[in-house]
Structures are given as C-alpha cells and as structure tokens.
A and B are shown apart, each in its own frame.
Chain A
Amino acid sequence: MPAIEHEKAVRRDGSSRVPLAVVVSIAVLAAVTAAGFLVGSSSVSLGDLVAWATGGDVSAAAKSILVNVRLPRVLAALLAGGALAVAGAIIQAVLDNPLASPNIIGINSGAGLFVLVAASVFPSALWLPPLAAFLGALVTALVIFGISLGASTSRLTVVLAGIAITTVFGAGMNTILIVNPDAYIGSSAFLVGGLAGVLMDDLLWPAAYIAAGLAVALLAEGKLNIMALGDDTAHALGMNVGACRLAMLGLAAVLAGAAVSFAGLLGFAGLIIPHLVRFFVGHDNRIVLPLSAVAGAAFVVVCDLLARVLFAPYEVPVGILMAFLGGPFFIYLILKNRRGSLE
C-alpha cells in the first residue's frame, strides 16, 4: 500500500478540544447562573445566594426575591436555552441544513399558534399549553419534513417554506390576540419571546417535557451521525432512515414546543448555539448535542440578564436581544453557504 499523502496538509478536527470545551462551558454555565440570581433591580448579595442555596440564614426579602423572582426566571432561561439549542442541533442534522432551526423553519410559530388557541379556549388548563405547543410544533415539523422529501428540494427551499409558514402562523397569532386580547397575559412579550413574569407553576409541565426530551436526545444522538452519511449509506448500515428522521424531528418538536409554551417565540438560540459548538469541537453529534444543551442554557441566561440590565430601569424581552444577535448571524450563514451548498 502506498504511503498516505498530504498528511501535513490535513488538519486535525476539534475533538482534542472537547475536554476543555466541556469544562469551560460548565464553568460558564455555573457562573452565569449565579449571575442570573444576583443581578437585577433589587439587590441580592453573593452571601445571600450561598446562604439560601446551602440552607443557611438569609433575610426574608432576599429569600423572597430569590425564590419568587430570580429562581423561576433563571430556571426558565436554562430550560428554554437548553431545549432550543438541542432542538436546533437535531433539526440541522436531520434536514442536513445549516440554516435550519426551530424559529427559522416555523416550528416555534406552529407551537405559538397552538398555545394561543389553547389559551383562548381553555384558559385555566395549565397543563395544556405545553401539549398544544408540542402538537403545533409537530404539525409544522411534519409539513417541513414533507417539503424536504422532494427530490429537487434545496436547503434554501426548506428555509423559504419555513419563512412562509412563520408568516401565516404569525398572522394567525395576531388575529387571535386582536380578537381575544386576554388570551395570553403578556402577549406582546410572547410574540418576540420573553421570560418576565414566568412562574414556577408555568414551568412544571414544560420542564417534564424538556427533561424527557433531552434524555431521549442524548440516548439517540449517535443516530444523527449515521444520518449524516446520507440516506443510502444510512440504509445500508441497517437504519430505517425515514422513521428515524421523523422520530428525531418529533423529538425536536417536543423540545422546541415546550420552550415556546412558557418563553414565547424565542428565536435564534437554536440557530446560533449548534454552530458555535461545532466551531469549537467538530461535528460529532454525540458531543454536539450535550454541549449544545449546556451552551444554549448559558446563552439564554446571559441574554436574559443583559435584557434586564442594559436598559435599566426598563427591561426588554430577551427575544428582542436575541434577534439583534441572531439576525446578523443568519445573514452570515447565508453568505458563508452561498456558493452552491444551499442548493
């Protein structure tokens, strides 16, 4: 066998950076989570936080702020960020499309529309919004999946179809909110994505959905590597490709839908984070998915924190801040992929 050539020209992948990336991302998550508890319009000291976390003495005022205001908010950010980032990583892998994410292909909008319908019809059923969000997300995912099956369908077509679906569902949501303004408290924040006013009760069911979804995603993450080989090769390796794609899209719908049910149409975490993770650690989905969960959680906590303090005493919904970051990143991806790879 002749000697292997070009060895020096071939760069090693990012797998050697995985241990460092894991340590750094977990450390960052811990730091920003602590900051999420400490920073806000009311003062809470690090000592108060440590005392509260370890069961020590803490003032009633500080405890009330931590338990009733900061805890649900930080928890919501962690859940939404982790769920949306993993959903984005799954969708990008399943559709083999770097531009795909729950908000770009309309999954968030589908979930949002169904949440508003459910909130209008059964306003007191707290368990219903996550289920409705999942159904809405699933319906949209199935439509997108059907479109992507077309032999001549390009990646750009899928994105454009997602934008069209988002427009239609957005019109539906606005119609509901005009006809029934009481359908959703804080509806303006819901449409752009926000975490203000989230209560622990709002998080119970979505947290269960997200925990289950993440557990299944981490068990099934290796299948995404097989799918990345292309349909024919995945089939040759013994995979039922169509069923796997559908199941993984369903999983992404569970995660994105659960996040939308309490955070509204929070966008771009699902687009930005998987790309960022792949940039540092390569494309092995067994690494990308868990790291996306950690990095996505940290990202939304940071964005929410910034949304609280940047314009203090005013607060902007976190979705607005994420749109400022995500929009340019989306354009960057389009420009980066314009040379034929979107066709």
Chain B
Amino acid sequence: MSSPVIPSERAAPPPVILSGARSAESKDPARRRRDQVPAIELRGVSFSYGKEPFIEKLSAAFLHGTVTSIVGPNGCGKSTMVKLVDGLLRPQAGEVRVDGVPTLSMKAKERARRVAVLAQAGRPPAMTVEALVACGRYPYQAHQGKLSREDREQVERALELAGIAGFRAHELRRLSGGERQRAFIAMTLAQDTDLIVLDEPTTYLDIRACHETMELVRRLNEEAGKTVVMVIHDLDLALRYSDRLLVMERGRATAAGAVAEVLDAGAIERAFGVSIRPHVAAEGRAYTLFPA
C-alpha cells in the first residue's frame, strides 16, 4: 500500500492508495460506503501547458480520513495537480474523480459541494471576515441572495471551528497573515465538504502562524472528520503534521505512504537532494534538513 509509484511509459500505473486508519475503522455504514471509494483519485492523468508534458500518466488516490501532504521540488506539478482536481485545468488524458465521480462530469457548484479547494494566497479582498466566510455558501445558493438560516448556521460553525468568531467584523486586509489564512480556511469550512484541498497554506506566514495553521488542519481532521490534502513546501511542517505523504518529481508520483514509510524509503531525500535528521524533544518531533 505504501510502495512508491513506478511510472510507466505505456500504461497508467496503478493508483497510489493513501488510506487512513480512521477511515478503515469507521462503524458508520454511510461512511463505510463512502470510504470504499477514494476521496480523490487521479487515473493516468496527463497535462501539458505547452508541447512538453508537465504531468504524465499520474495516478494516485487519497482515501478519506487522513491529512496528506503533497511534497516535491518547485515545478514538479503539485499546484497543477490541485488545479486538475479543482477542474480549473482539464487533463489531456486520464481523469480525476472526487468521491468516485469524474470531476468534469459535475456541474461547478456540485463539485464545490464535494471538495473545497483553497487556492494559493493572493491579494486579500477588501471585505470582512464574516463576508468572506459567507462566500463559502455560494455553492448552495441557487440565486445569489440572502443567506438562509442553514447558511448562517454553517458560517457561524465555520467561524467557531477556525477560532476566528471574535474577528467576524474585522477587515481581512487588516489581519495578520495567520489570522487571514484561518479566515480563508473558515470559508472552505463553510462549504461543508468532507474534503478540503489546500494549496500552499503556509506560504508567506511567519513560523508561529505556520504552526497555528497546521494545528488547525489537524483539528479539522481529528475533531471535524475532514479529509485534508495539502500542497506544502515546508518539509518540516509536512513531516510533523501529516499522516501520509505523496512525493512528486517532474510531474510524476515517486513515493506515497505513511510519513515514516516514505522517510524510510529515502524518497524525500532523493527528490530534494537533502538529508533529513529527526529530533525528538519534550514538545514533539521536528526535522532538520541539510543539503546532501
């Protein structure tokens, strides 16, 4: 299950299953049925921006119930993979499935009710935290009108869960980077999906805000049962806060599995050209990386 993906030139490789213990142990019949299909599955996906293939015959699957980090050097196709999952880009071959349903067969709002994707941080919009979080209810609104009672309840729940209820009336642009990122994550929570995909959620954040964001991600997984897939550059954060890892190089998945298994296989060290030294302290485990 955790063996590295061996890309094939001729046929799509078998999917890399990123299953979690929590999903396998679920006693809820509905959840068990849901967990029988991957949360996200890429089947032999190829994509290119120009003539050169950028992602080639990529197959991977992410099952429900885990926090999975996608790591890899710059330009390896991590963010492109997120855009393929989100339907922002169309694969030139293969298909992407969310909960077993091809994303391209879904209407835009239906897709947004299944998977909440938080794009990389851009210029923050000029609006309040509450207005931003309310935007997360857009997929549920037939016409862009007033929020329903359920919409308001979901917004309130998202604000509470992300720990920013006290900031509801504040302008987004006046918050710190970490607080702002939590507001954006609250917006994805208001989408009320089981699956959240975060594209570089810690970019531009200071170290404390990085850890706060990652702690929120863990809490969403453990307390709210969210499946989280995130693209992340900071290997220390990825190793510390993830259950599973998918390592990408040059548009292909080269390894996948539990963090310890991927570490033991040396896939990260090969992909980045580094050596990794774990440190165990009273506060937990951390990782130091040195150029190999």
Contacts of B135 on A, CB cut-off 8 Å? 225-226, 229, 237
Interface string of B65-82 (1 = CB under 8 A from A): 000000000000000000
SS of B interface (majority):
mixed
Interface size on B, as a range, is: 35 or more
B144 touches A219 (CB 8 A): yes
Contacts of A226 on B, CB cut-off 8 Å? Answer: 135, 138, 144
Within 8 A of A (CB), among B209-223: 212, 215-216, 219
Instruction: Tell me the residues in window 132-152 of chain B with beta carbons closer than 8 Å to chain A beta carbons.
Output: 132, 135-136, 138-139, 141, 143-145
Closest CB-CB distance, B148 to chain A, in whole Å? 13
Contact segment of B34-42, B94-102, B123-131, B245-253: B123-131
A241 to B83, CA, bound (A): 15
Q: Which of A6, A11, A225, A238 contacts B127 (CB 8 A)?
A: A225
Residues of chain A within 8 A of B126, CB atoms compared: 228, 278, 282-283
Residue of A nearest to B141 (CB): A222
Q: Is the CB of B176 within 8 A of A6?
A: yes
- A143-175, CB under 8 A of B: which get 1 and which 0? 000000000000000000000000000000000
Contact with A along B17-49 (1 / 0, CB 8 A): 000000000000000000000000000000000
CA of A220 to CA of B141 in the docked complex: distance in angstroms?
A: 12
CB distance from B43 to the nearest CB of A (A): 22
Select the stretch in B4-12, B112-120, B225-233 that faces chain A.
B112-120
A55 at the B interface (CB under 8 A): no
Whether A235 and B176, one on each chain, are in contact in the complex, defined by CB atoms closer than 8 angstroms, is no
Interface stretch of the complex, out of B50-58, B162-170, B266-274, B277-285 = B162-170
Known contacts A1-B163, A219-B144, A238-B113; A13/B119 CB under 8 A: no
**Most-contacted residue by chain B among A4, A233, A236, A237 (CB, 10 A):** A236
Complex Cα distance A235/B174, Å?
Answer: 25
User: Bound complex: CA of A5 vs CA of B123, how far in Å?
Assistant: 21
Contact B128 A228 (CB under 8 A): no
A237 engages B191 (CB within 8 Å): yes
Q: Are B170 and A240 in contact (CB under 8 A)?
A: no
How far apart are B15's CB and chain A's nearest CB, in angstroms? 24
Tell whether A237 pairs with B138 under 8 Å between CB atoms, given A12-B170, A232-B119: yes
A245 interfacial contact with B, CB 8 Å:
no
The 8 Å CB contact of B216, one of A1, A221, A225, A284, is A1
Q: How many residues of A contact B (CB 8 A)?
A: 35
| Binary CB contact string for chain A from 213 to 228 against chain B (1 if under 8 A, 0 otherwise) | 0000001111101101
Does any Cβ of B come within 8 Å of A15's Cβ? yes
Asked if A10 CB lies within 8 Å of chain B CBs, one says yes
Any chain B CB within 8 A of the CB of A327? no
In the complex, per-residue mask of A105-117: 1 if CB is within 8 Å of any chain B CB, else 0: 0000000000000
Q: How far is the CB of A264 from chain B (nearest CB, A)?
A: 33
In contact, A225 and B131 (Cβ under 8 angstroms): yes
Are B143 and A219 interface neighbours, CB within 8 A? yes
A237 interface neighbour in B136, B170, B175, B179, Cβ under 8 Å: B136
A26 at the interface (CB under 8 A from B): no
A296 to B169 alpha-carbon distance, docked (Å): 27
Are A4 and B119 interface neighbours, CB within 8 A?
no
Residue interface mask B157-190, A partner, CB < 8 A = 1: 0000001101101110011100100000000000
The residues of A that contact B87 with a CB separation of less than 8 Å are 235
Q: Which residues of A contact B128 (CB under 8 A)?
A: 13, 15, 282, 284
In the complex, chain B residues whose CB is within 8 Å of the CB of A221: 144
Q: Are A4 and B163 in contact (CB under 8 A)?
A: yes
* B64 close to A (CB within 8 Å): no
Instruction: Return the contact of B167 from the options A10, A235, A278 (Cβ within 8 A).
Output: A10
> Once bound together, how far apart are the Cα atoms of A4 and B117, in whole Å?
25
Question: Is A4 within 8 A of B144, CB to CB?
Answer: no
A residues in contact with B216, CB < 8 Å: 1
Closest to A5 in B: B176
Residues of B within 8 A of A321 (CB): none
Residues on B with beta carbons closer than 8 Å to the beta carbon of A223: 144
B240 contacts chain A at the CB level, 8 A cutoff: no
What distance in Å separates the Cβ of B210 from its nearest Cβ neighbour in chain A?
Answer: 12
Give the chain B neighbours of A232 by CB distance below 8 A.
Answer: 83, 86, 88, 119-120, 122
Within 8 A of B (CB), among A299-340: none
Contact A236 to B171, CB < 8 A, known contacts A15-B128, A226-B138, A229-B135: no
Further 19 A-B residue pairs, CB within 8 A, beyond A236-B86, A239-B138, A283-B127: A1-B215, A2-B212, A4-B164, A7-B167, A12-B171, A13-B171, A219-B145, A222-B141, A222-B144, A232-B88, A232-B120, A235-B87, A235-B88, A235-B108, A238-B109, A238-B110, A278-B126, A282-B126, A283-B126
Q: Which 6 A-B pairs have the closest CB atoms?
A: A238-B112, A222-B144, A238-B109, A232-B119, A283-B126, A236-B117
